[in-house]
Structure 1
Amino acid sequence: MASTAIVLTVPGPHGDREVRLSSPERVLWEEPGITKQELAEYLIEVAPAFLTANGDRPVSLQRFPGGVDGEWFFSKNPPKGAPAYVRAVDVVYPSGRQHPQLVLDEAAAVVWAAQMNTVVFHPWPSRAADPDRPDELRIDLDPQPGTDFADAFRVAASLRELLTEVGLTGFVKTSGNRGVHVFAPIEPEHEFLDVRHAVIAAARELERRDPSRVTTSWWKEERGERIFVDYNQANRDRTMAGAYSPRALAAATVSCPVTWDELPEVDPGAFTVRTVPERLRSVGDPWAGMHDHPGRIDVLLQWWERDLEQGLGELPFPPDFPKMPGEPPRVQPSRAKLPEE
């Protein structure tokens, strides 16, 4: 049986584009019955806010050829046959290898990504013109077993206060699952390692102020029932689901920006591919204007230096990274060899 296809008319800065969508009836999310066509139509509806948050950045596409319950893989490099309106920029990966990475600039490019079975969009925290210097400080608050979204938003509120102290403005969104993401616009003055150190400094200070709720422990066995501040998401080529990106979860939830005022009452499961367009129409985009007044990470870097002087050094990097200067052993504490007597 021949595969079906439709053509979607997608408005954009250069006029309408016609984007072919094959197998539009393919169900991507079984539980709500959301199809590939419905995903593409969602992306067209939210495109202005989606592109404000995620456009003009290197992006990794998380693709699910058989739906969200099936196998998936990441696409970073532009595939053969990509349309001319899908561009790429050379980026450097942690290994030192340099390669072109996709950049999405208009709605048609986002719909093309959906045609390629993309469900989750993972943008870099830096712009395509300067991919080595982030213009966003991003902090991922990850609830550990025994904690939940309510615990995460309480920590997020404390984090907001801390960021304000150091001259940064925090913007918040749901992760699309149980966590909370806090972003702060920054001047693109520092390389990834410096921004990572700024995030670690903020995380350590947050942990000092609320050790019963917050942990910076990389090893799960040491985290307890606390919110883990995942500082490793600040590394080069480490990304999280972008604002308004769907998630590959059963209910088709979306990583959705919210206001700080509404955060305590938020039900993250209420933000889905089917509900977020109406939310944008009715309340607008809480992240509009995020980058109008970027801050600086100078104070956080001073905190990092202070902690170094007090004996707090580098923290573990992800396992696929090369060994980094000053990094402690990547050995789970319970498996570390005890020193001989």
Structure 2
Amino acid sequence: MTPITEVEGRRVALSNLEKVIYPETGFTKGELLHYYATTAGALLPHLRDRAVSFLRYPDGPEGQLFFTKNVPPGTPDWVTTAKVPRSSSGGPARMVVVQDLPSLMWAANLVTEFHTHQWLVQSPDTADRLVFDLDPGAPATVVDCCEVALWLRERLAADGIEALVKTAGSKGLHLLAAVRGSSPEQTSEYAKALAVEAERAMPRLVVHRMTKSLRPGKVFVDWSQNAARKTTAAPYTLRARAAPLVSAPVTWEEVEECDSPGRLEFLADDMAARLRDHGDLLAPLLDPATAAPLP
């Protein structure tokens, strides 16, 4: 029998709690659900009012991985959904919007990475986020990403935009900023221009094109996730990696001091202490007063 638990008055089925999802560390599905329940206070504000696509890995990261963009079959009727005009498949779709703890626990039970657009479902034509995904091509590492991130932070500050940073939870870094008054197309153009500028400033380190042959030993500054249909891993989501790595907000001091990749790897078990010590380092993204216009 699937155990049913009550979450804020909603009945949520939680299954296979003893199943090991991350074989490298023995981290179980029950521990995964506990992680999301205890991190919900920080995670939920970053999911709220955003259509969510799920990268599901129910048999762990070594099993089948599949993206779920449309509302999954069996979704409870109390989970919010929204019609999205431009989904990652190109056309309209109906997608899940995780608004509360019961919805989060229902979605976490599917074993998923949470990915969101850079706009709210109420205003799909207006970007409220600018994002850069810094992806190192071996032998480059997150240490090289840190150097690029610091350059981008300074360049964005020159345009009056405050950049915040989190780990990708895989190999690289994500830079995020709250913006206002622009369409996804305009934020994409601006982000591309900065990626090109970064490549000119650091030609031995940066590449702005996705071409695989250009990427070994360099940091790919992926500006394309600003496109309306694209999604990016949400803050605090677990990733489908060998260990339960988190896309974890970090301080700029941590970026400046990073001298080895391991210094910017955070597991599920690290996050309670980080939230206690730092709070939500990405909270400024949620404050409309910090949102800057693009130049």
126, 131, 139: which one pairs with 2:132?
139
- Cα deviations across residues 138-178 of structure 1 (Å, max 9, x unaligned)? 00111112211111011101100000011111010001122
Query: Where does structure 1 lack aligned partners over 5 or more consecutive residues?
Result: 300-341
Q: CA deviation at 1:241?
A: 1.3
| Secondary structure of 2:133's aligned partner | strand
RMSD: 1.8
Which residue does the alignment assign to 1:321? none
- 2-side partners of 1:31 and 1:192: how far apart? 39
Letter of the 1:191 counterpart: S
Q: Does 1:35 align with 2:28?
A: yes
Q: How much identity, in percent, do the aligned residues show?
A: 35
Decide whether the 8 Å contact of 1:51 with 1:106 is kept in 2: yes
| Secondary structure of 1:274's aligned partner | helix
Decide whether the 8 Å contact of 2:82 with 2:97 is kept in 1: yes
Letter of the 2:191 counterpart: V
Higher relative contact order (CA 8 A, sep 6+): 2
The 1:94–1:80 alpha-carbon spacing in structure 2 relative to 1, beyond 3 Å, is: closer
- 2-side partners of 1:68 and 1:132: how far apart? 34
Decide whether the 8 Å contact of 1:177 with 1:269 is kept in 2: no
- 2-side partners of 1:226 and 1:82: how far apart? 42
- 2-side partners of 1:209 and 1:69: how far apart? 39
Q: CA deviation at 1:62?
A: 0.9
Which residue does the alignment assign to 2:270? 275
- Cα deviations across residues 71-119 of structure 1 (Å, max 9, x unaligned)? 021111222332233111111236652111111011211110122232x
Q: Does 1:218 align with 2:213?
A: no
Which residue does the alignment assign to 1:170? 163
Larger radius of gyration: 1
Which residue does the alignment assign to 1:295? 292
- 1-side partners of 2:223 and 2:106: how far apart? 32
Q: CA deviation at 1:196?
A: 1.0
| Secondary structure of 2:283's aligned partner | coil
Runs of 4+ with deviation above 4 angstroms = none
- 1-side partners of 2:18 and 2:216: how far apart? 44
Q: Does 1:114 align with 2:111?
A: no
Query: Where does structure 2 lack aligned partners over 5 or more consecutive residues?
Result: none
- 2-side partners of 1:50 and 1:145: how far apart? 31
- 1-side partners of 2:241 and 2:222: how far apart? 21
The 1:151–1:123 alpha-carbon spacing in structure 2 relative to 1, beyond 3 Å, is: same
Q: CA deviation at 1:278?
A: 2.4
- 1-side partners of 2:255 and 2:5: how far apart? 35
Letter of the 2:244 counterpart: A
Decide whether the 8 Å contact of 1:253 with 1:269 is kept in 2: no
- Cα deviations across residues 173-203 of structure 1 (Å, max 9, x unaligned)? 001122010001001x332222211110111
Letter of the 1:38 counterpart: E
The 1:164–1:69 alpha-carbon spacing in structure 2 relative to 1, beyond 3 Å, is: same
Letter of the 2:205 counterpart: R
Which residue does the alignment assign to 1:258? 250
Which residue does the alignment assign to 2:2? 5
TM-score, normalised on structure 2?
A: 0.92
Which residue does the alignment assign to 2:195? 203
Q: CA deviation at 1:236?
A: 2.5
Greater share of strand: 2
Decide whether the 8 Å contact of 1:247 with 1:254 is kept in 2: yes
- 2-side partners of 1:268 and 1:213: how far apart? 21
| Superposition pairs of residues 222-237 of structure 1, within 5 angstroms | 222-237=214-229
| Superposition pairs of residues 308-327 of structure 1, within 5 angstroms | none
| Secondary structure of 2:268's aligned partner | coil
Letter of the 2:91 counterpart: R
Aligned pair count reads: 289
- 1-side partners of 2:37 and 2:78: how far apart? 16
- 2-side partners of 1:225 and 1:67: how far apart? 29
